[in-house]
Chain A
Amino acid sequence: MRLRSFTTFQPKTLQEALFLRHKYKRNAVLKAGGTSLIPEMRLGLKKPDYVILLDLVEEIRVIEEKDDGLHIGAMASLQQIKKAKLNVHQSAAVANLYGPLIEAIDQVSAPSMHYQSTIGGNLCQDTRCIYYDQSEFWREIKGLCFKQGGDRCHAVPAAKSCHSVYQGDLAPALICMDAEVSVSSPKKTQIVKIADLFSGNGITPLRLPANSLITEIIIPPLGTKKIAYEKLSDRGALDYPVAGVAAFVKMRDGFVEEHGFVATSIGPAPLVVTAPLLNARRFDEDFISQAAGAVFKKARPVANTSAAPAYRRQMVKTLAEKALRRLLP
């Protein structure tokens, strides 16, 4: 399938990219690696007049280790991050951050795609739905859904809003790590927690002004926090998650001080589940089963992927248990 015609810009500096972003706003799309954008454009889901190619903006590709954590340029490829792990690190506190991040990266698509895919692109991927990621012909016959500017949701016929699903593999781990993004627009730069980046609205899943772009991802040192990500997918590679759960645990004097989960492929935004503990808890099977039960309770997947909602909900619990179990001391 050929791409519809559009005009491209290839800025060399962030300033130039922001100028173009500001000038063309929603008429333009940003292309990072393009591994989800290009298929979406082929399906006519996005029909931009302008495409801003970010591949030459070197300043947002840099990976830096600083006192306040790891700063990863939004255009850094996943492979570049895997390689950076092998470098000499500024401190053990920053070196620690690569482990859980790369564990999540290893779950993204396939290793040969990691040269092209970028961390910023992965984070900003659009939500998906079996009734949306289809050819234009197919969609027209079915009738336009909310995400295409229509008046219905095929996945949940009684719904009043879009129920598409966010399926990114990196957001769960990054949210567990308390990571932030730096969002630049021509006049200002803001630091936003990744957890707050998602709107929960399937039509516009990201809270990003039309004239802005994400320049870097900032991951603060973990301290005593431990993180694990578990993904279930139909295929072992090149696949979006049926469900994915990242879990984190913070221990103090042999007891669980803090814990939580972030699930992906459940709703239009990553699902964050934290339950404050009233008493110090031993980290044992009892605790694992009870904690994972809380994710099961909150997860409300709908019929918008290849797997049935009830199955996905059950699997979220199983994955939460698996992830926590890996963190047992």
Chain B
Amino acid sequence: MIILKVNGREHVLDVPDHKTLLEVLRGDLELTGVKEGCDRGECGACTVLIDGKPYRSCMMLAAEAQGKEIVTIEGLAKNGTLHPVQESFVNNQGVQCGFCTPGMVLTASAFLEENPKPTRDEAAKAISGNICRCTGYTKIIDSIMDASQKVNGGVSR
């Protein structure tokens, strides 16, 4: 038995030892916003926040996420209001096919917590571990820069 706290709710789960966090989130908890891309840590689509930091859920066993705050894309909006990064992705066409978007948004939101006023280069480096096969990086970086302005009250470098 393991207990996982996902998006603020505790779940008691009976899962085998070898199940990854990704499999439990998608399969057992039906949080399909967590995407399974490469399954080997190369694409970032399965990124979730663990205690506010980006982690690849495909390379973590579910047991390792016990006692931590897990946030998936489903839990980022609060009370029906989008997170500033989500809003910026919508407003700046940061989404094409959408498959990389949950990982991009979560990675970007954690990045802006650490570095609220990034340069474009810093933003590009921050998401260099997330692959967008539509290659829509320019709009994704636009979205992150726009979000950084929003969280800083319109001030940006």
Q: Does B64 contact A (CB under 8 A)?
A: yes
From B72-80, B127-135, B142-150, the one touching the partner chain is B127-135
Contact residues in A for B47 (Cβ distance below 8 Å):
112
Q: Once bound together, how far apart are the Cα atoms of A5 and B61, in whole Å?
A: 12
- Interface residue SS majority, chain B: mixed
Whether A111 and B61, one on each chain, are in contact in the complex, defined by CB atoms closer than 8 angstroms, is no
Bound state CA distance, A38 and B131, in angstroms? 19
> Which B residues between 44 and 87 are near A, CB-CB below 8 angstroms?
44, 47, 50, 53-56, 58-61, 63-64
- Known contacts A3-B20, A115-B55; is A10 also within 8 Å of B129 by CB? no
In the complex, per-residue mask of B114-127: 1 if CB is within 8 Å of any chain A CB, else 0: 00000000000111
> Chain A residue with minimal CB distance to B107?
A112
Given A53-B64, A115-B54, residue A5 in contact with residue B17 (CB < 8 A): yes
Q: Do the beta carbons of A237 and B63 come within 8 Å of each other?
A: no
**Contact A39/B41 with A33-B59, A111-B126, A112-B107 known, Cβ cut-off 8 Å:** yes
Taking CB atoms, residues of chain B closer than 8 Å to A51 are: 17-18, 61
B71 CB to closest chain A CB (Å) equals: 14
Task: Given A8-B61, A34-B60, A237-B129, verify A116-B17 contact (CB < 8 Å).
Answer: no
Query: What sequence of 0s and 1s flags, for each residue 223-239 of chain A, a beta carbon within 8 Å of any chain B beta carbon?
Result: 00000000000001110
Per a CB cutoff under 8 Å, which of B44, B54, B63, B130 touches A10? B63
In the complex, what residue of chain A is closest to B50 when comparing beta carbons? A115
Chain A residues, CB < 8 A from B58: 38
A55 at the interface (CB under 8 A from B): yes
From A112, which residue of chain B is reached at the shortest CB distance?
Answer: B129
Q: What string of 1s and 0s marks CB contacts (under 8 Å) between A1-36 and chain B?
A: 111111110100000000000000000000101110
Whether, in the assembled complex, A275 has its beta carbon less than 8 Å from a beta carbon of chain B, the answer is no
Contact B59 A112 (CB under 8 A): no
A window 221-278: CB within 8 A of B: 236-238
Q: Choose among B59, B61, B111, B131 the residue that contacts A116 (Cβ–Cβ < 8 A).
A: B59
Bound CA–CA A109/B39 (angstroms): 16
- Interface check A280, CB cutoff 8 A: no
Residue B136 interfacial (CB < 8 Å)? no
Let me know if A112 and B40 touch, CB within 8 A: no
How far is B55's CA from A192's CA once the two chains are assembled, in angstroms?
32
Q: Kindly report which residue of chain A lies nearest to residue B41, judged by CB atoms.
A: A35
Cβ A8 vs Cβ B17 within 8 A: yes
Partner of B128, one of A6, A33, A111: A111
Task: Assess the B40–A42 pair: CB atoms within 8 A.
Answer: yes
Check if B18 sits within 8 Å of A3, measured CB to CB: yes
B113 to chain A, nearest CB (A): 12
A178 and B54 CA atoms in complex are apart in Å by 32
Residues of A within 8 Å of B10, CB to CB, are none
Is residue B28 within 8 Å, beta carbon to beta carbon, of the partner chain?
Answer: no
Query: With the chains together, A8 CA to B19 CA distance in Å?
Result: 11
- Name A residues whose Cβ lies closer than 8 Å to a Cβ of B: 1-8, 10, 31, 33-35, 38-39, 42, 51, 53, 55, 79, 109-113, 115-116, 236-238
B residues neighboring A (CB under 8 Å):
16-20, 23, 39-42, 44, 47, 50, 53-56, 58-61, 63-64, 107, 110-111, 125-131
What are 9 A-B contacts defined by CB distance under 8 Å?
A2-B18, A3-B18, A8-B17, A38-B20, A39-B59, A112-B107, A113-B41, A237-B125, A238-B128
- Apart from A34-B60, A38-B20, what are 18 other A-B pairs with CB-CB below 8 Å? A4-B18, A7-B17, A33-B59, A38-B41, A39-B39, A39-B59, A42-B39, A51-B18, A55-B64, A110-B44, A111-B129, A112-B47, A112-B111, A115-B54, A116-B55, A116-B59, A237-B128, A238-B128
